[in-house]
């Protein structure tokens, strides 16, 4: 079982990943919790280039660096874990590239999706939880945390609005569960558990 969490920065993905990881472990599943970018050693170096290196990164280069991180992540961590019968929980996956590089960065959505699918050999999640919040609310939550913004987080509200709109468009695919992220963490967690119960996990 491969489950991914998506949404613009500030919607509360980490909290939900924590809750789901604990729940699944308590049920006796072997869980691999991971993230993009940076789920592997190589990925951590790519993450640094993408988020913390000084200076410009051309949009197509940015898209390819995310794809490079993901290709290595899938090949060396995600596929082996799934083959061993583990549950993989990932904080972001290729839908992030479609929303951020395709829509927000205004590269072509279909092209970015194509590059991403090539990078992962067409590995699509069984379930994708989309935490949805208007961009201004997500940004307000983020700034209240007081952490230093990374390169992507320094973008304007319009950038995150384009990403959010694209997430909502893609969420008609059956693997998506869209949750209103203005609810309490417990309510959101329960919505995830309800969906898992339908999937018999
Ligand atoms: P994330 O780890 O979620 O941020 P944080 O550590 O602040 O919680 O993701 C880092 C940033 O990378 C985030 O702004 C979204 C962006 N991103 C993309 O633009 N494209 C992608 O394919 C991925 C995976 C992330």
pLDDT higher than threshold 90 for residue 181:
yes
How far, in Å, from the CA of 36 to the mean position of ligand 1? 7
Match domain 2-198 to its CATH number in 3.90.950.20, 3.40.50.300, 3.90.1150.10, 3.40.50.1980: 3.40.50.300
Give this prediction's pTM. 0.97
Contact 130, 179 (CB under 8 A): yes
pLDDT higher than threshold 80 for residue 179:
yes
- Torsion angle defined by CA atoms of residues 117, 103, 49 and 150, in that order, rounded to the nearest 10 degrees: -140
Residue 100 CA, closest ligand 1 atom number: 19
Q: What is the mean pLDDT of residues 174-186?
A: 98
DSSP code for 38: -
The predicted structure's pLDDT at residue 14: 97
pLDDT higher than threshold 90 for residue 80:
yes
The predicted structure's pLDDT at residue 134: 98
pLDDT higher than threshold 90 for residue 191:
yes
pLDDT higher than threshold 80 for residue 45:
yes
Q: What angle do CA 120, 123, 127 make, to 5 degrees?
A: 130
Task: Tell me which residue has its CA closest to atom 5 in ligand 1.
Answer: 9
The predicted structure's pLDDT at residue 6: 98
pLDDT higher than threshold 90 for residue 186:
yes
Residues in CB range of 17: below 8 A, 6 or more apart: 5, 33, 89, 91
The chain-wide mean pLDDT, for the chain, equals 97
Element (H, E) at 177: strand 176-180
Residue 152 CA, closest ligand 1 atom number: 14
Is the N-terminal amide bond of 37 cis, ω within 30° of 0? Answer: yes
Q: What is the mean pLDDT of residues 194-200?
A: 93
Residue 14 CA, closest ligand 1 atom number: 8
The predicted structure's pLDDT at residue 105: 98
Tens of pLDDT, residue by residue over 103-129, are 999 999 999 999 999 999 999 999 999
DSSP code for 147: P
For ligand 1, say whether the CB of 5 is within 6 Å of any of its atoms.
no
How far, in Å, from the CA of 51 to the mean position of ligand 1? 8
Contact 38, 69 (CB under 8 A): yes
CB neighbour burial string for 85-101, b if at least 16 within 10 angstroms, e if fewer: ebbbbbbbbbbbbbbbb
Task: Tell me which residue has its CA closest to atom 11 in ligand 1.
Answer: 152
In this prediction, residue 144 has a pLDDT band, given cuts at 50, 70 and 90, of confident
Q: What is the mean pLDDT of residues 9-27?
A: 97
For ligand 1, say whether the CB of 95 is within 6 Å of any of its atoms.
no
In this prediction, residue 68 has a pLDDT band, given cuts at 50, 70 and 90, of very high
Residue 153 CA, closest ligand 1 atom number: 14
- What are the extents of the domains in the chain? 2-198
How far, in Å, from the CA of 138 to the mean position of ligand 1? 14
Pocket test of ligand 1: the residue of 71, 152, 160, 181 to mutate, having most ligand atoms within 8 Å of its CB, is: 152
Residue 94 CA, closest ligand 1 atom number: 22
């Amino acid at each position: 079982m491969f489950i991914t969490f998506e949404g613009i920065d500030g919607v509360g993905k980490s909290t939900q990943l924590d809750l789901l990881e604990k729940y699944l472990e308590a049920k006796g599943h072997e869980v691999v919790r991971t993230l993009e970018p940076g789920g592997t050693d190589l990925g951590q170096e790519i993450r640094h280039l993408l988020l913390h290196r000084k200076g410009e990164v051309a949009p197509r280069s940015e898209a390819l660096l995310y794809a490079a991180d993901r290709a290595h992540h899938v090949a060396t961590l995600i596929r082996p874990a799934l083959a061993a019968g583990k549950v993989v929980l990932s904080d972001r996956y290729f839908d992030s590239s479609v929303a951020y590089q395709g829509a927000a960065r205004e590269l072509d959505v279909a092209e970015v999706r194509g590059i991403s699918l090539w990078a992962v050999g067409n590995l699509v999640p069984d379930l994708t939880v989309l935490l949805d919040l208007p961009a201004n609310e997500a940004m307000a939550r983020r700034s209240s945390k007081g952490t230093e913004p990374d390169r992507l987080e320094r973008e304007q509200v319009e950038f995150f609005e384009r990403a959010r709109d694209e997430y909502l468009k893609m969420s008609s695919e059956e693997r998506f569960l869209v949750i209103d992220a203005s609810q309490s963490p417990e309510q959101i967690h329960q919505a995830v558990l309800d969906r898992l119960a339908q999937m018999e996990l």
